[in-house]
Structure formats: structure tokens, C-alpha cells
A and B are shown apart, each in its own frame.
Chain A
Amino acid sequence: MGKKIGSEPLGSFYGKGKVRKRREWRGFKDTWYDYTRWVKIMMMLGKFMMKPNNVKGFLRYRWMLNYLSVPSMIDRHTTGLRGNHLRIAHEEYDLVAEDVAGLLTNVFRADRHCGNDVKFSKKCVVLDENMMFAVMCGFPNLKAVSWETAAVYVSVLLQPDAVTHYLDVAQEMGLPGDVCPMPEAETGVAIDDDMPLYGACAVQCNTTCDGSMMQNGVFTRMYEAAGIPTFQIAAPLRHTEDGVQEYCAQEIRNAIKFIEDNTGEKWDWDAYFTNIKRYNEENSHRKHWMEMSRTEYPQVFGANLALYSETTYMAVAGRAQAFVDADRRITKMAEESFRKKEMVVKEYRHRAIIWGVQSQYYTDFLPWLQNCWGILPLVDMLSLVYMDHLSEDDKDQAIYDIAKLYQEMIMRNRTHGGYEVLLDDLWRFTEYYNADMVILWEHVSCKALDGMHGLFEERAREKGIRLIWVNHDLMDPRVIPKQKIRDDVNRYMRSVMREEPIDPSLEVLDDAHMW
């Protein structure tokens, strides 16, 4: 117990309860800092509950209960961290939490079941949670509000079994249990009448997979029945081909026109380019952090990179200055730690690329990897997205840029586009980041990736890369519990690598009932 990294067994905090036995002691300065951030989050939750619409929302929607575990979720992701790394993590998670609180406030203000602010609702556009928000960059007076993000995506990050009830509801209705649990849970929310209703119109996209796309159909029917017109961006699947770019650009033009027609707002190029300048800066920061991960001293990586990137890249897309400010502070701290050669855990044994679809109910698996086995999760598939510089002044090019973002959004850029982007790119990245190991998430309900299982194994063997398959069911911990996920790694590390863990107390944890 002390200031030094790895000074106490981190597994000793776990009991049978919802929260850990006690807070981690990180030396006076870091413990105090961590405590003040915890207080800040608690105050944010308190402030959130001061608004009558939010209280209504909290009582109206079953999924809102998950938000009680926000502090616990942040604690899970900052376990073992000290100094700048602790501060970088808090910069990221605290800001994301604040952003989600803002999202929920907007949802409940506009929602017909809660605030029912009709005027405000007419300024809201409902977006599919799994898509880029870039199409909203030219509408400064409109709010892009995704209830799916609040009800399902974030809920599971907070609490592993957050949506199991909704999965059961969807299956009782007749949906098979083998489809992706994310769209399935969202469908369950809608069937269970737990879907907030608001907005002047809705925009969807054929995002990652068949399941996600099919769920769009269910929602379209519901939106239209509620008088919310819906537009579906049908982005091409073979996104690496030049021949499809014009078609996709036209889809974007149509989507913009649709939003204009249904909200009375006009696309504002000045606002768009302002947002895109921020977006470009965010991407340059992220690339800078990822470049650091090529060296012996990575600074921003693992879950910190993955979750923060998902929010800034896809949901924020340059529309909030707060994220750019946070990025600048993070870069400053990361550079300082890099110069000092600071490490996140006491020993680095393996450098890993994280590939495949991550388990949403166990995103703190990546901190566990580094703390338990000294495996550094350098970069992950979801962070390795389209990050080319977007035009900041050319209106014609801008439409093609947005089109490219929709085609190559998170996950979609790998699950569509042919085996080159899913299979070949992985080996390019292992070389580029000088990795000796690949942690391959096998989401058992993801048909897009499961079909490539054999090819991954064959190529890894050819290239002499250590490949660890880690099974999970994205949003359903009943199918594959968290300990089973850890066991996939424990077994490999002990039987194949013949290694002992850095922190043996983390190998088996009693966390099945934890928040």
C-alpha cells in the first residue's frame, strides 16, 4: 500500500458486494486527487438529479438505474494508476461522464414521456448510436441526441448486466438469442416501452452489421408511427473502392437535405468548418498518442484510448471545444511522462494489439491485462479508424470527407470492406507497433468476425505472433462471465507462455455481482 506502482495486490479490493471493499491508496497526493475527482462526479450526479425532467426520467426508465454506478465505472478504469496516467484517465472519463449527463438532460427535456418540451424537441435530431455524428456538424442550432447511447451503450459500460432484462424481452417477442446483443437490447428497450420519444426527425445508417441494420427497420417503423420521419444513409460496403465514393457523397447530400427539410434549418458551412478544424486537431492528438505507443513508453493506450476515442471520434466529432481542451492537457501530460520514461505498471512483458469487437460489459479488461500480466494493450481495432486530415475550406471535398467517415466509422471500417481491412491490416499494425501479441476478442454473436477465425489463426502461426482468443457476448455476461474472459488469458499465459502473473491477486476475482 503506497505511492509506488504495484505496491499492493489490486485483487484484494474485491469482495462479494456491488462496490469494492475500499478505495485504493496511491500515496497522499494521488489519493487526494483521485478523491476530489470522485467527489466531483458525485456532485455532477447530484446536480443532474436537481432537474425535475431528469428525476422524471430516472423514475420512468428502468435503464436509468445503471447510472448510479458511474463512480464505480471510473474507479474500475483507473485501478492501479498513478501520477499523470491517473490524471489522463480522469480527464477522459470525467469529461465523457459530463457529456453523457448533458445527453441525458437533453433526452429527458425533449422526451414526450418526461419534459415534453415541444419547441426543444423540434430542434433535436435522433441519431443511431452506432454512427458518426459528423452529419450534424453543419447544424449549429440543432441537437444530435441519441437515446440508444444513453439507454444501452453507456448503461452496459457502467454495469455489466445492465441490459439483460431487455435481451429477455426481445427474445420473448421472438427475436433469436444469437443475434448481436447490442441491437437486440435496443430493440428490447423499444418493445418494453422504455424508449424516449422526441425529435423533429431521425437519421440512421447501415453501420456495422446485419443485426444493427435490421434493428434500424424496427425503429423506423416506431419513429414513423410516432410522427418522426426517418432517413437511412445507405453507405457502400466496399468502402475502399473509388467507384462508390460519388454514390456515398450523394447519400450525405440527401441526408443533409432531409434534415434541412424536416427542421427548417440550413446547413451552415462556417459552423461545419469550425467543427472540422477541432475534429482534425483531436485526431492529430490521438495520432500523436498512438505514435508514442510505438516506443517503449506508451502513455495513452488501452481502455483509456478506446473509450475516449469512441466518444470524441464518433459522437462528438469536433462539435465540443471541451474535448479539444482536454486533448491538449492530455498531450501535455503524456509528453511529460514520455520524457520521464514513466510506466503504467511496474513491468512490461508483452506488447499487444487488441483486435475484434470489444466486450462492452468488460471494458476494464484492458487495465486488467496490464495489471495482472504486464500485457500492454497498445492500440485497439476501434481506435484504428479513418483519421486523414479533412478539408477545412473546400465545400465540394467536404461532402466526400463526410461520406468517407460514414463508410469507415468505428467497427464498420473493419467489418465491411473485405478481408484486407480486417485480416491483413492486423499484421501491418502488429509490425508497425512492434507488438509480439494479439488479443483477439471473439464476440460469439458477431458473424462478421467469426467467419474469419481460421484465417486469423493460420496467419498468426505463419507470422509467429502470439494470438490469444478471448470469448465474450458483448452485452450479455450471462453467456460468458467476466471470469471466463480472464481465464482465456490466464490459461494461455500459464500453459503456453509458462509465465506467472505480475499481480496474482487479479487472476481470479469475485466480481460477478459487482457494478
Chain B
Amino acid sequence: MATYVCPKDMILDKLKETLEEVRNRVPDEKPPYRARVAVVGSEIDDVDMIKLIEESGALVVADRFCYGSLPGRAEIELNDEEDVLRQICRHFMTKSMCPRQMDLGKITARKTYVDQIVKDYHAEGIIIEQMKFCDPWGYERMTQAFAMREDYHYPVLTIDRPYAVGNSGQLRTRVQAFVESLEIKKIQKNQKQEG
């Protein structure tokens, strides 16, 4: 999140350094998670939310929420012919995945985009979350959860959450149960393959 607002020239070398470190990092022998999930939904700028999910046994492999990496990290392609501001505006108008955009093409595109993310990042389940009082995500959570389950056949956990959730025992239990259900699905799948 810091990299969104930090002056780019000041942070670029730090990012390069981190990238190098990640590339050379030795993975844990036994991963500390039991399932890979993609988190989709309203703005999360409370790190405790992701922490809560990961403490419950899930690894967040993709974040597709308002200010998340996907599609937030998409490159803004600039040309030399047009005014830069106009180009940036166009980028946000055409690439935005905010559910506020009600056009049917966009509605469908948001679902196929999540499907693509799940495939690209090998997620086993999707957590669709909505910050309380956010109407666009209120509707999108309902329709997307339905579509991802019924049309794409992914396991989905949908949650309606307050702004800060770090101490929510209820939410922790729900994520834990979801992780367990993903594990069971994995075991059943393995048994089928073996059988």
C-alpha cells in the first residue's frame, strides 16, 4: 500500500532489493498454511484482516480488492501523443474493477477476472469480503459469490465485515472452518485420484 503513495524515485531501489530477496528466498520445508486463497472484495487497509486470515491457516495468494495488487498493479501504458492526465483517466475508467460500474460487460468481466486470478495463482478457494455499509460491494458480494459457486464451481466464503476486524473471534472461526472445508476437499480429491 505504501508503494502506491510513496514518491516512485525514492522507493524503486527498495522494491528492486525486495524482489531480489524474494527470488532467492528458500521456501519453508513444511509450509505454515493449509490452503491457498484469493481475497476479493472491498477496500482493506487494515493489515490485521489479512493477518487474521493467514493466522487461521490460509495463505493469501492474490488480493483483488479496491486498493489491492490486482488489478491495482496493472501498468498504465502511456503514449507521447496525448495529455498524460487524460491517459491516466482513461486507464482508470477502462481498467477499473470497481463494482460501481454497472454495465453488463463489466459485471461479467469482473467474474471472469476473478476466475483467471484463481487459476493464475493456484488458489483453492475464494474469500469474498465486503466492508459494512459499502453498497456496491454489498451487491457484488451477493452476485459474485453466487456466480463463483454456481457457474465456476469454486469454494467460496463470503463475509460482511466491519472496518477493523483484527480481534473478531467470529470471523476467525469462519475462516478456520473454511480452511478446514478446503482441506477436506483436498483429501477427498486425493482419495478419488488414488482410488
- Kindly list chain A residues whose C-beta atoms are within 8 Å of the C-beta of B85: none
Per-residue CB contact flags for chain B residues 92-121 toward chain A (1 = under 8 Å, else 0) read 000000011011100100000000000000
A204 cross-chain contacts in B, Cβ below 8 A: 102
Q: Complex: how many Å from CA A215 to CA B102?
A: 9
Q: A210-B100, A213-B100, A217-B143 are in contact. Are A176 and B138 (CB under 8 A)?
A: yes
0 or 1 for each of A164-175: is its CB under 8 Å from B? (1 = yes): 000000100111
**Which one, B102, B133, B160, contacts A217 given CB within 8 A?**
B102
In the assembled complex, B56 has its CB within 8 A of some CB on chain A = no
Complex contact A176–B107 (CB within 8 A): no
By the criterion CB–CB under 8 Å, are A173 and B102 in contact? no
Alpha-carbon separation in the docked complex, A180 to B107 (Å): 21
B152 at the interface (CB under 8 A from A): no
Cβ of A72 within 8 Å of any chain B Cβ, yes or no, is no
Q: In the assembly, what is the distance between CA of A221 and CA of B106, in Å?
A: 11
B139 lies within 8 A of chain A by Cβ: yes
Q: Contact between B138 and A214 (Cβ–Cβ < 8 Å)?
A: yes
**Residue numbers in A under 8 Å from B143 (CB-CB):** 217-218, 221
Taking the complex as formed, is A385 at the interface, i.e. its CB lies under 8 A from any CB of chain B?
A: no
B139 and A175 contacting across the interface, CB-CB below 8 Å: yes
Report B136-169 residues with CB < 8 Å from chain A CB.
Answer: 136, 138-143, 145-146, 158, 160
The CA-CA distance from A215 to B142 in the complex, in Å, is: 11
Complex Cα spacing A204 to B103, Å? 10
Q: Is the CB of B138 within 8 A of A224?
A: no
A277 contacts the other chain (CB 8 A): no
Look across to chain A and name the residue whose beta carbon is closest to the beta carbon of B143: A218
CA of A206 to CA of B106 in the docked complex: distance in angstroms?
A: 15
Cα-based distance from A180 to B143 in the complex (angstroms) = 17
B132 an interface residue at 8 Å Cβ cutoff?
A: yes
CA distance A116 to B107 in the complex (A): 30
Given known pairs A217-B107, A232-B103, the reply for A210 and B136 (CB within 8 Å) is: yes
Q: Is the CB of B102 within 8 A of A178?
A: no
**A250 sits at the interface (CB 8 A):** no
- Complex Cα distance A204/B130, Å? 25
Interface of A is mostly: helix
In the complex, A148→B25 CA distance in Å? 58
A220 interface residue per 8 A CB criterion: yes
- In contact, A224 and B104 (Cβ under 8 angstroms): yes
Contact of A178 among B132, B136, B145, B146 (CB under 8 A): B132
Residue from A170, A174, A187, A216 in contact with B102 in the complex, judged by beta carbons closer than 8 Å: A216
Q: Which residues of the partner chain B approach A209 to less than 8 Å between Cβ atoms?
A: 135
What CA separation (Å) do A170 and B145 show in the bound complex?
A: 14
Asked whether A218 lies within 8 Å of B104 as measured between CB atoms, the reply is no
- Of listed A179, A210, A217, A232, residue having the most chain B CB within 10 A: A217
B107 touches A210 (CB 8 A): no
Which residues on the A side are within 8 Å of B132 (C-beta)? 176, 178
CB atoms of B104 and A220 under 8 A apart: yes
> In whole Å, how far is B94's beta carbon from the nearest beta carbon of chain A?
14
Do B142 and A175 touch (CB < 8 A)?
yes
For the complex of A and B, 8 pairs with smallest distance between CB atoms: A214-B139, A210-B135, A174-B142, A217-B102, A176-B138, A211-B135, A220-B104, A175-B142
**Chain A interfacial positions (CB closer than 8 Å to B):** 170, 173-176, 178-180, 187, 204, 206, 209-211, 213-218, 220-221, 224, 230, 232, 447
